[in-house]
Amino acid sequence: MKIYGDRISGNCLKVKWTADHLGIPYEWIDVDILAGETRTPEFLAMNAFGQVPTVELDDGRHLAQSNAIILHLAEGSALVPEDAYARARMHEYLFWEQYSHEPYIAVCRFQHHYLKTPLADLDKEKVERGYRALDTMDGWLADGGFLVGDAVSCADIGLVAYTRWAHEGGFELKPYTRVRAWIGRVEAALGIGD
């Protein structure tokens, strides 16, 4: 398998962490999104969306969208709960991440940390909605465990990627003690650090 990704992208790292955790061999191919490498004819032939991550499976087929990829890789593993309701909850968190978390926290991070947009110039609605996402997550984590059950799942991988870097988008994580403790638990379970 080949993973086409940019290491500054939390969405790409979700795929890397999932493959690493499951011991799935792969070749990492660096794609510099800031240099426009996802817009080349060769890349667009693999992924018409022009986005990373993109994987080329062992049989030559391509798959895009980080959460779809991690679910595919994790099929049949402990990262996907056996219980149907718990599995549905995992999907619920992954859909929520792409609609109510990533568009705010990840976008603010990209604009501030990589495009050097001053914090004061970030879209105030994006900042407000990013904090709302963190508030929501802090409430979910009241039991001190993982998002679904008592073990790490694809839901945790999907949400930890940009949450752990929220400070790079100007989000203050200090008040979110539950979120910070959860980040530590997920990092330990996956064996990841900075």
pLDDT digits (tens, 9 = 90+) for 75-93: 999 999 999 999 999 999 9
| Residues 39 and 31: beta-carbon distance below 8 Å | no
In a domain, 79, yes or no: no
CATH number at residue 11: 3.40.30.10
pLDDT digits (tens, 9 = 90+) for 52-67: 999 999 999 999 999 9
pLDDT at 194 over 70: no
- Nearby residues of 82 by Cβ (< 8 Å), 6 or more positions away: none
* Number of independent structural domains in the chain: 2
List the domain range (segments joined by +) for residue 146.
84-190
**Strands of 54-56's sheet in order across:** 27-30, 2-5, 54-56, 62-64
Average pLDDT, the chain: 96
| Residues 48 and 56: beta-carbon distance below 8 Å | no
Does one domain contain both 25 and 120? no
Does one domain contain both 104 and 18? no
Does one domain contain both 92 and 184? yes
Does one domain contain both 136 and 182? yes
* pLDDT: which is higher, 100 or 193: 100
Indicate the pTM of the whole model. Answer: 0.94
Q: Using only C-alpha atoms, what is the Rg of the chain?
A: 16
